[in-house]
């Protein structure tokens, strides 16, 4: 009895060597669950909406799909996953007026003798959450750690992996479930439905400062002031793309005397070599045939006032991407079908007019980034609502990116006022998720976030892309 789906099931396309994922248009009123990952401690988060929230309901986390749950009596002393409440990303002060967060793992374990087992006891239940009675929407941070090694094993064939969450009632009936999901080919899987749309017409998940990740980094072990404010993502570019991201925000620095001259640059630090980013995009596109917007902007270091280094960079990009580069004659009005017909899947969107004039065969104009430059959630919320007030798509074919993250000011960084970008993301990512899911998704185009795995933006993008089709075909 998994959540009611409308009849519009997007066609199953048999790709020569893999079965396309099927997407359903979910009734927005049905019970729905999401799994996300917090930025600061990399704990699994689980959230839901439209829950019956009755006494005895539970949300149970497992490492594989559970088909049946049974109640057992707990031998005295069996530990349940437990964690301090204040770790929750949804439990910051002041969150109460938006979504009340006050569920808990069974707080009094010794007094509660009953517990749930999955699949006849073969599958361990890692954590059991008790929804607050009467509250239909909640967002929890569990104490279950997520290991990004799992994320690295995701391939273009992955759908669910790592963790599942099931919402059950007192009798153990599964009312809804979800899993951690990858979206390696969502554009192709939806091809028959979204092929006629322009990039501007889709809800496209993006990342902010996409190249600011560090392989094998553990924020619980090695965090410093620099990593706290320089890193913005936990998956590498391949991981981001595998999980559905299609807009990359690329800020390149130039280092004349370094063997690798082009690097991603963020804040005050060099991040990944641009070559690594390019290789991952290229390999991903070859493997999946997905369409990527590669947004270059800011050029924070080493470019000087002249155009010489820009020329080097554009020539380098051209040599690297070659035939994959979307020719600007496609223009932003091209439908996905037009783009696929040409097999030019990478849009090099470049923020420098003189270069657009010099390389009219290679470069698109920049994606319009709407960036609030604000430090608090109320101001970010106001900003995002304002810019989404009307549907500019009607007037405009160039993609627009909502930059949905907080930005610390220089002195805030030096004084570590906000506790780092991870903490800031945990503070806003669940709220952004709700805001786009419940209100702003209709007109949204690109939405780019920090630590995107702490948001439900990718799934919400799928929902709205499907909803567009459903609504178009029903009117």
Residues binding ligand NAG (CB under 6 A): 108, 111, 147, 149-150, 153, 331, 333-334, 338
Nearer to ligand NAG, 338 or 351 (CB): 338
Nearer to ligand NAG, 132 or 331 (CB): 331
Nearer to ligand NAG, 117 or 334 (CB): 334
- Closest of 102, 125, 98, 99 to residue 114, by C-alpha: 125
Cα separation, 191 vs 336, in Å, equals 8
Nearer to ligand NAG, 319 or 357 (CB): 357
Minimum distance, C-beta of residue 206 to ligand NAG, in the bound complex (Å): 23
Nearer to ligand NAG, 333 or 373 (CB): 333
Minimum distance, C-beta of residue 58 to ligand NAG, in the bound complex (Å): 17
Report how far apart, in Å, the C-alpha atoms of 46 and of each of 29, 33, 162, 207, 239 are: 18, 7, 14, 21, 21
- 288 close to 303: Cβ distance less than 8 angstroms: no
Minimum distance, C-beta of residue 331 to ligand NAG, in the bound complex (Å): 4
Cα separation, 110 vs 108, in Å, equals 6
Minimum distance, C-beta of residue 147 to ligand NAG, in the bound complex (Å): 6
Nearer to ligand NAG, 229 or 332 (CB): 332
Nearer to ligand NAG, 248 or 349 (CB): 349
Minimum distance, C-beta of residue 280 to ligand NAG, in the bound complex (Å): 18
- 29 close to 50: Cβ distance less than 8 angstroms: yes
Minimum distance, C-beta of residue 150 to ligand NAG, in the bound complex (Å): 5
Cα separation, 86 vs 66, in Å, equals 29
Minimum distance, C-beta of residue 45 to ligand NAG, in the bound complex (Å): 19
Nearer to ligand NAG, 114 or 149 (CB): 149
Minimum distance, C-beta of residue 393 to ligand NAG, in the bound complex (Å): 15
Minimum distance, C-beta of residue 96 to ligand NAG, in the bound complex (Å): 21
Nearer to ligand NAG, 345 or 388 (CB): 345
Minimum distance, C-beta of residue 98 to ligand NAG, in the bound complex (Å): 27
Nearer to ligand NAG, 215 or 378 (CB): 215
């Amino acid at each position: 009895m998994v959540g009611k789906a409308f009849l519009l099931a997007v066609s199953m396309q048999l790709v020569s060597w893999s079965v396309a994922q099927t997407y359903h248009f979910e009734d927005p009123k049905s019970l729905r669950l999401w799994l996300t990952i917090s930025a600061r401690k990399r704990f699994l988060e689980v959230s839901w909406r439209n829950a019956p929230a009755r006494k005895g309901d539970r949300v149970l986390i497992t490492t594989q799909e559970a088909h049946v749950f049974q109640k057992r009596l707990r031998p005295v002393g069996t530990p349940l996953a437990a964690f301090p409440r204040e770790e929750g990303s949804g439990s910051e002060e002041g969150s109460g007026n938006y979504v009340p967060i006050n569920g808990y793992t069974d707080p009094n374990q010794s007094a509660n003798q009953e517990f749930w087992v999955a699949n006849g006891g073969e599958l361990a239940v890692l954590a059991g959450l008790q929804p607050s009675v009467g509250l239909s929407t909640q967002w929890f941070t569990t104490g279950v750690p997520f290991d990004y090694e799992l994320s690295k094993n995701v391939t273009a064939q992955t759908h669910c992996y790592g963790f599942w969450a099931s919402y059950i009632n007192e009798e153990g009936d599964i009312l809804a479930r979800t899993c951690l999901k990858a979206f390696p080919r969502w554009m192709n899987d939806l091809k028959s439905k979204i092929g006629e749309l322009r990039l501007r017409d889709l809800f496209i998940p993006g990342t902010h400062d996409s190249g600011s990740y560090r392989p094998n980094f553990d924020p619980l072990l090695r965090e410093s002031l620099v990593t706290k404010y320089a890193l913005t993502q936990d998956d590498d570019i391949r991981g981001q793309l595998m999980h559905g991201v299609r807009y990359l925000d690329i800020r390149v620095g130039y280092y004349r005397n370094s063997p690798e001259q082009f690097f991603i640059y963020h804040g005050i630090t060099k991040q990944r070599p641009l070559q690594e980013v390019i290789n991952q995009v290229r390999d991903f596109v070859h493997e999946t045939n997905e369409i990527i917007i590669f947004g270059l902007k800011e050029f924070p270091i080493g470019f000087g006032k002249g155009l010489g280094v820009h020329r080097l960079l554009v020539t380098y990009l051209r040599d690297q991407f070659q035939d994959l580069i979307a020719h600007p004659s496609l223009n932003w009005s091209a439908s996905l079908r037009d783009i696929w017909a040409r097999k030019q899947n990478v849009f090099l969107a470049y923020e420098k007019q003189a270069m657009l004039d010099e390389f009219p065969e290679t470069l698109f104009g920049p994606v319009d980034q709407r960036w609030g430059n604000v430090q608090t959630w109320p101001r970010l919320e106001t900003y995002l609502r304002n810019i989404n007030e009307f549907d500019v798509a009607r007037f405009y074919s160039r993609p627009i990116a909502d930059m949905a993250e907080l930005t610390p000011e220089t002195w805030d960084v030096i004084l570590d006022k906000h506790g780092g970008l991870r903490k800031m993301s945990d503070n806003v990512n669940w709220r952004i998720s709700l805001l786009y899911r419940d209100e702003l998704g209709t007109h949204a185009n690109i939405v780019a976030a920090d630590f995107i795995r702490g948001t439900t933006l990718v799934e919400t993008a799928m929902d709205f892309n499907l909803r567009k089709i459903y609504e178009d075909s029903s009117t």
